[in-house]
């Protein structure tokens, strides 16, 4: 008899889990209040980041901390209320970013990242989504030789340890790739491995369509209650009540709050982010995904226009939007590339789901048989969704996993 599984959350992580479970013969229902790929997975930079073998650490050096305090940087902003609200997990994040702790975390994190392309590939093919994907890498651009040289050292270490491939471009090399880029940019790293996606939400939707094509169901409804009834599970929505053998919580930034209702207290917090789309001034054209590494924003040639994505904003998820960070990024971006008018009436705002040791939870809930967890992927849910789906589906089937899953267990907190 087919096992009945309900997956809560239809972002990249939840949809990928549903896809892999469907492949293994589960009868899957995917539940979300919105259509697949319309929340956090919709608003990202659209890069499957095979090069991202190091997670984002909390700044530890005094120079960086002092530069953050005036709250005018593009790469990171904060609000006092949000910082106080997440004081405990942020303190733990700071602790885990020490050189000793971070050195242990990097190879565990990298083990996941190294699976990303291999996991996305079959899903892209099955979903007939090749038209959304480019396999040409992306550019990390620099204004100063010293900062570029430091980054090259880090890239060489990543190549030696984790097989990351890259080229170094001088000014002439940058001009060949991006002839309309301003003269301030003196060089770049061309990360060769990553794939880029011209519409991230559409890729998630294509994966979800493949789930339904193969017999899965998608229920767009608000989740009201999750409860265990004997050896089975019940998910109550405003539309209907679902009975299942297993439930997977893949609710991204909302997962921590939902888990409290089941007696779990994960130290979750969010890093908010914004994006805006722009036209370009003719005849200029943006050819590649560009990260302005010394400032902290990214430009991407999406189907909807050039998408500018901001760095992190530390605040409560429900706080009103504040477009000052976006405005600061836009001002710098216009100085290096001829952006034209905004194409969106308001900035998109989303929240990256984070845990203080920079690693997601992937695996069984410690005290509830049949309850499985997959959340806390930080900046890389879009990159890691398919790998997470593969690994969790293997665990749920009692099969060996491709990597050691102990670093991602739920009971580590």
- What is the predicted pLDDT for the residue at 239? 87
Phi and psi torsions of 401, nearest 5° = -100, 155
| CA distances, 241 to each of 1, 123, 221 (Å) | 21, 30, 11
Strand (E) positions, 13-162? 27-32, 47-48, 76-78, 133-134, 138-142
Sheet with 133-134: strands ordered across: 47-48, 195-197, 133-134
Q: Three-class SS of residue 156?
A: helix
Q: Which of 57-66, 169-178, 281-290, 325-334 has the lowest mean pLDDT?
A: 57-66
- What is the predicted pLDDT for the residue at 131? 98
Average pLDDT, integer, range 43-70: 94
Q: Three-class SS of residue 45?
A: coil
Residue from 53, 63, 33 nearest 114 by CA: 53
Q: Three-class SS of residue 186?
A: coil
- pLDDT-based confidence at residue 1 (cuts at 50, 70, 90): low
Query: What sign results for the dihedral spanned by CA atoms 94, 97, 98, 100?
Result: positive
DSSP annotation of 319 reads S
Digit-coded pLDDT (tens) for 364-388: 999 999 999 999 999 999 999 999 9
- The rounded distance, in Å, linking the Cα atoms of 62 and 68 is 10
Q: What angle do CA 234, 218, 35 make, to 5 degrees?
A: 115
Residue 340 has pLDDT above 90, yes or no: yes
Digit-coded pLDDT (tens) for 187-240: 999 999 999 999 999 999 999 999 999 999 999 999 999 999 999 999 999 989
Residue 146 CA to its chain's centroid (Å) = 29
Neighbours of 284 (CB within 10 A): 16
Give pTM, 2 decimals. 0.97
Structure tokens at 340: 């034209």
Residue 344 CA to its chain's centroid (Å) = 22
| CA distances, 332 to each of 7, 94, 147, 403 (Å) | 41, 29, 18, 41
- What is the predicted pLDDT for the residue at 2? 84
Average pLDDT, integer, range 142-152: 98
Q: Is 9 exposed, middle or buried (0-12, 13-18, 19+ CB in 10 A)?
A: buried
Digit-coded pLDDT (tens) for 247-301: 999 999 999 999 999 999 999 999 999 999 999 999 999 999 999 999 999 999 9
Residue from 190, 165, 198, 166 nearest 300 by CA: 198
- The rounded distance, in Å, linking the Cα atoms of 19 and 185 is 42
Residue 164 has pLDDT above 80, yes or no: yes
Residue from 266, 239, 240, 263 nearest 251 by CA: 266
- 């917090």: which residue's tokens? 269
State the average pLDDT for the chain. Answer: 97
User: At what angle are helices 116-126 and 12-23 packed, to 10 degrees?
Assistant: 70
Helix or strand run (H / E) with residue 180: none
| CA distances, 412 to each of 362, 383, 405 (Å) | 11, 23, 12
């Amino acid at each position: 008899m087919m096992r009945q599984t309900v997956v809560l959350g239809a972002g990249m992580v939840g949809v990928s889990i549903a896809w892999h479970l469907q492949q293994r013969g589960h009868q899957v229902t995917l539940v979300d209040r919105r259509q697949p790929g319309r929340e956090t997975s919709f608003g990202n930079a659209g890069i499957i980041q095979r090069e991202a073998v190091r997670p984002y650490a909390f700044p530890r050096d005094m120079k960086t901390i002092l530069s953050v305090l005036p709250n005018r940087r593009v790469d990171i902003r904060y609000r006092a209320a949000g910082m106080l609200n997440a004081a405990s997990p942020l303190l733990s994040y700071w602790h885990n970013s020490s050189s000793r702790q971070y050195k242990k975390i990097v190879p565990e994190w990298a083990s996941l990242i190294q699976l990303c392309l291999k996991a996305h590939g079959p899903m892209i093919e099955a979903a007939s989504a090749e038209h959304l994907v480019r396999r040409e890498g992306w550019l990390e651009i620099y204004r100063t030789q010293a900062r570029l040289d430091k980054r090259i050292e880090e890239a060489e270490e990543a190549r030696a340890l984790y097989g990351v491939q890259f080229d170094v471009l001088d000014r002439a090399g940058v001009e060949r790739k991006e002839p309309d880029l301003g003269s301030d940019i003196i060089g770049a790293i061309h990360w060769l491995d990553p794939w880029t996606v011209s519409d991230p939400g559409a890729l998630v939707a294509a994966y979800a369509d493949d789930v339904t094509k193969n017999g899965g169901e998608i229920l767009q409804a608000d989740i009201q209650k999750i409860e265990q009834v004997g050896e089975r599970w019940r998910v109550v929505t405003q539309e209907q009540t679902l009975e299942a053998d297993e439930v997977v919580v893949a609710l991204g930034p909302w997962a921590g709050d939902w888990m409290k209702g089941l007696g779990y207290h994960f130290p979750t917090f969010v890093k908010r982010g914004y994006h805006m789309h722009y036209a370009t001034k003719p005849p200029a054209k943006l050819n590649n995904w560009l990260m302005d590494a010394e400032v902290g924003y990214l430009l991407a040639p999406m189907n909807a226009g050039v998408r500018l994505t901001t760095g992190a904003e530390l605040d409560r998820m429900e706080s009103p939007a504040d477009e000052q960070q976006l405005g600061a990024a836009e001002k710098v971006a216009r100085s290096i590339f001829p952006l034209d008018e905004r194409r969106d009436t308001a900035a998109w705002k989303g929240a990256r789901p984070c845990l203080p040791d920079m690693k997601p939870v992937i695996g069984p809930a410690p005290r509830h048989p049949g309850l499985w967890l997959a959340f806390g992927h930080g900046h890389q849910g879009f990159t890691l969704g398919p790998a997470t789906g593969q690994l969790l589906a293997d665990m749920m089937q009692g099969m060996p996993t491709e990597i050691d899953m102990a670093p991602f267990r739920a009971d580590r907190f």
